[in-house]
Structure 1
Amino acid sequence: MIKPILRLPGALALLALAACTQNPQTGDAPAGRVMEGMIDPATGQPVISGPVLTGTAPRTPGKTLSTAPPPTPAARTAAEFDTTTREQKAAAATAPASGERRLGTTIASLGDPSQPGFWIKTPLAKSESEGRIVNPANGKSAKVRLIPMGGPASAGSQVSLPALQLIGVSLTDLPTIEVYGS
């Protein structure tokens, strides 16, 4: 007799195979129908209808968030991941520009440390633009690139390593920060 725990991998394998089948009458994938006259320019394949996805689109290859170089593949410490210069840090810490508006508050966490520069991915931003983040606990601020991220406005945000350091936040904390846009 097969133990119930050993049946689980077999059931999962069958479910995975069932999801990969095609409609034998049309050859279409079961996820949707082919959109007539629509061809994906990247693959040359017909576009298949499906759910409308929301959120952050993949970044354009080669588009950087700042002029700071990416960290080396051997980077392991916060200092090795932070490739911004003193001049870049000083520029990011300068007084806020006039005409900015408060977008709201968010819970901040460390974003991808391999992405250089000063940025925040947040659902408070509607389009990619310049902005500023402020740590209300100490009043320190940093000019950042606002990058839209899917989700409700109450969802948290991801902040670059140098930006968190500039506003005096420990990389393991989850502080509430204020976000301003231009």
Structure 2
Amino acid sequence: MKRTLVLIALVSGVSGCAAVSERFGLGGGSGTTDQTTPADPFVSAPETVETSALDPATAAPPPPASARSAESLDTTTPEQRAAAAAPAAEGSRALGTTVASLGDPTQPGLWLKTPLVGTESQGRVTNPATGKSSAVTLIPRGGEATGGSQMSLAALRLIGASLTDLTEVEVALEG
């Protein structure tokens, strides 16, 4: 089990290296950027970002190119964090437990990419170690249901999880 978790962490960490290096101009990668790649379908364009705290998954603007710390990469507002941390609504359905690592720190919002869902949905993640939870957008991630998940920087911070460790979280579908 320990070897599997280490392998998941290494694969997750290496899979984002090129994107982070290119984002911050640190070299690596092919040196070319595909300008025809569509914008992230889960994040609104900066000019159309809704600032409502009721939609914390899409309301956060992208971080500035000069962002280097967790604080500057997390662009969620205090209102968005408060809305996401509010108690869960009645009728949520537990999906299971997954081990989450830090996803792309430059992708704004509160989200979890997980093999526990087949379609994008609204959900909640809970860190059993701290008891803290966050509303998130659950984004399908291929693989076995027992495979690991990637969580946004903002969501990891909100649930009191380490940004460098693998964190076991409980996942529930809301609504």
Q: 1:154: which partner in 2?
A: 146
Superposed displacement of residue 59, structure 1 = 7.3
Instruction: Confirm or deny that 1:134 pairs with 2:126.
Output: yes
Q: Could you tell me how far apart the structure 2 residues matched to 1:143 and 1:159 are?
A: 12
Unaligned stretches of 5+ in structure 1? 1-57
Q: 1:173: which partner in 2?
A: 165
> Does the residue aligned with 1:136 lie in a helix, a strand or coil?
coil
Q: Could you tell me how far apart the structure 1 residues matched to 2:122 and 2:79 are?
A: 18
Superposed displacement of residue 108, structure 1 = 0.6
Q: 2:99: which partner in 1?
A: 107
Q: Quote the sequence identity (%).
A: 58
Q: 2:8: which partner in 1?
A: none
Superposed displacement of residue 62, structure 1 = 5.7
Unaligned stretches of 5+ in structure 2? 1-36, 44-56
Q: Could you tell me how far apart the structure 2 residues matched to 1:61 and 1:174 are?
A: 25
Q: 1:69: which partner in 2?
A: 61
Compare CA radii of gyration and give the structure with the larger one.
1
Superposed displacement of residue 96, structure 1 = 0.3
- TM-score when scaled to structure 2? 0.68
Q: Could you tell me how far apart the structure 2 residues matched to 1:96 and 1:63 are?
A: 22
- Among 81, 87, 112, the residue aligned to 1:89: 81
Q: Could you tell me how far apart the structure 2 residues matched to 1:86 and 1:59 are?
A: 29
* Segments of 4+ moved more than 3 angstroms: 58-63
Q: 1:59-97, CA deviations, whole angstroms, 9 ceiling, x for partnerless residues? A: 764641411110011111101100000000000000001
> Does the residue aligned with 2:113 lie in a helix, a strand or coil?
strand
Superposed displacement of residue 173, structure 1 = 1.1
Distance 1:105 1:59, change over 3 A: farther
- Among 120, 124, 146, the residue aligned to 2:116: 124
- Counterpart code for 1:81: L
Q: Could you tell me how far apart the structure 2 residues matched to 1:61 and 1:157 are?
A: 18
Superposed displacement of residue 134, structure 1 = 0.3
More helix by share: 2
Q: 1:3-35, CA deviations, whole angstroms, 9 ceiling, x for partnerless residues? A: xxxxxxxxxxxxxxxxxxxxxxxxxxxxxxxxx
